[in-house]
Amino acid sequence: MAREFSTVGVVGLGTMGAGIVEVFARNGIDVVAVEISEPALERGRVTLTGSTDRAVAKGKLAPEDRDALLDRVHFAVGLDALHSVDLVIEAVPEHLDLKQRIFAELDRVCRPETILATNTSSLSVTEISVATTRPNQVIGIHFFNPAPVMKLVEVVRTVVTAPEVVADVEALCARLGKVDVTINDRAGFIANALLFGYLNHAVGMFESHYATREDIDAAMKLGCGLPMGPLALMDLIGLDTAYEILDTMYRRGGRDRRHAPVPLLKQMVTAGLLGRKSGRGFYTYERPGSPVVVPDEATPLATEAAVADGARAIAKVGVVGSGTMATGIIEVFAKAGYEVISVTRGAEKSATVCEAVKTSLNKGVVRGKLAEADRDAALGRISWSATLDHLADVDLVVEAVVEELSVKKALFASLDEICKPGVVLATTTSSLPVIDVAMATHRPADVVGLHFFNPAPIMPLVEVVRTIRTSPETTATARAVCAALGKTGVVCGDRSGFIVNALLFPYLNDAVKMLEASYSTADDIDHAMKLGCGYPMGPFELLDVVGLDVSLAIQRELYLELREPGFAPAPLLEHLVTAGYLGRKTRRGFRDHSHR
């Protein structure tokens, strides 16, 4: 039977420590809250009362429950106050020597049966435990910020943690209303090991002028449905904290260069640009601690992407292709008021595309998202053709044909001969180099990537991909068109994966490597990312939806271009694709979908 905890101690009353105190006190457990000095103790008291007062103001906590909660908390200076508690959780800054000193003292102060826990997010629980004479009773209990809200807790066992200690802590998490995932002591555990490689990669994009901070953040929010963009999230976490976590993961996790902190990160920390806590990081905030972003002078490297004034007027658009993407793009342009010429190979394909567009527009009417008059007007703007010659007088051509470079190059060579001067030629490629397509023409300055996301009528994001030959006027025109379509256009350079895929798929690949190493289960990894980071889907759920073959192809392209060892496709992913386990499309991937 699981042990009953009646009194717990919390060491360190910063934002995380105060949140942990609140979690226990909310669930009827007495808490001894400890700090190093009276001023620090008072700051912790203010943090706790502020949080509970906000909960009352929002109607999430009754005033009498707030008062009862606060009555369960005893504030004290010094570790001696913890002599009779059943469990201690340490939540001090991420410095190994500091934590080891605290655990050595806790070992002296606390009763022999007391469990000693650390809330570390990146340090070795094993290295912390050896500072005591009871390493079998030391465990990691990693809450996520804000602790009263976030459901996930990572329970981290070392090779010597007693099984009954693990079981007792798991039962405690259930009592607190948390979802726990139990894992071994590895750098970054689950959530941080997957999250911080992605965050560091995003900082590298920004540092190299690949895209602006706003475009990187918008791309990941709109393209992946994430609650925050990576740079805004870094500001929330704190750049100093992020640096320490990355540095620890690099040193403890096999010195993977993807976890080596990007130089810009260290420079910003040294300059005191720590994020929200200091009032300035990648963004500038109203005041230290405020979430409100205010306009700022360009921070280092935060210059606007090379988008100039002088966008060309676009009235008539040609769309080449007959697949789902082409159909969606035709609908998007027609609903936005553009005259559209759909070009396919043959009358039969034209009829198929026409029917698909009509069906989609009719669904919009049935669902109340489109008026019948607007549907009819959109259809009236579309003409159908089986020859490229009808594109001679358009202002913009959007290519949406098969992802084969030879096919696209041949098409753009033909468009170069047919289209009038000044026409913007756009490719919707998601993986091929736009410059290769552009150089098939004699007008590479007029060629740009417009990477729509599927389904195009619904997804709000378009990646505007400029090559080293794309003119500022062409880029400006592409972004203006995105705005006219009601889309957010984010500008980036012509590099494999652009923004979204370049950040998303290495994260997915890392999750596969974690599973391959038997570090955790697919279910626990998915739980960790959904509950700990607020992701709409876990990595394995997403891999099955996207398709393991698609994911492998994109990851191979990233690896071939960047030659970064950490980007090498996970062997498990290679093997599953070879075996025909492609995800939902084959009803078998990381999970069995045969019952669906």
Q: Annotated catalytic sites, by residue?
A: 121, 142, 154, 192
Contacts of 257 (CB under 8 A, 6+ apart): 250, 564, 565, 566
Structure tokens given for 146: 């804000």
309 C-beta neighbours (distance < 10 Å), count:
7
Nearest to 211 by CA among 505, 432, 499: 499
φ and ψ of 285, to 5 deg = -115, 160
Helix or strand holding residue 143 (H, E): strand 138-143
- Are the beta carbons of 375 and 364 closer than 8 angstroms? yes
- Angstrom distances, CA of residue 225 to CA of 293, 312, 511, 535: 21, 32, 18, 8
Beta bridge partners of 116: 88, 138
- Note every long-range contact of 358-363, with CB atoms under 8 Å and residues 24 or more positions apart, other chains counting: 360/327, 360/328, 360/331, 360/457, 361/331, 361/335
Structural contact between residues 497 and 558, judged by C-beta atoms closer than 8 angstroms:
yes
Specify the DSSP class assigned to residue 60: S
Give the C-alpha separation, 191 to 194, whole Å.
5
Which residues, in sequence order, are bridge partners of residue 371?
Answer: none
> 3-state class of 547 per DSSP?
coil
587 touches 596 (CB < 8 A): yes
CA distance 289 to 104: 33
In three state form, how does the secondary structure of 296-342 look?
CCCCCCCCCCCCCCCCCCCCEEEEECCCHHHHHHHHHHHHCCCEEEE
Q: How far apart are CA 484 and CA 269, in angstroms?
A: 40
With vertex at residue 165, the alpha carbon angle to CA 524 and CA 12, rounded to the nearest 5 degrees, is: 85
Q: Which amino acid makes up residue 373?
A: A
d(CA 148, CA 154): 15
Cα–Cα distances (Å) from 110 to 79, 137, 173, in that order, read 9, 12, 22
- Beta strands 339-343 and 382-385: pairing type? parallel
Phi, psi of 7 (to 5 degrees): -140, 130
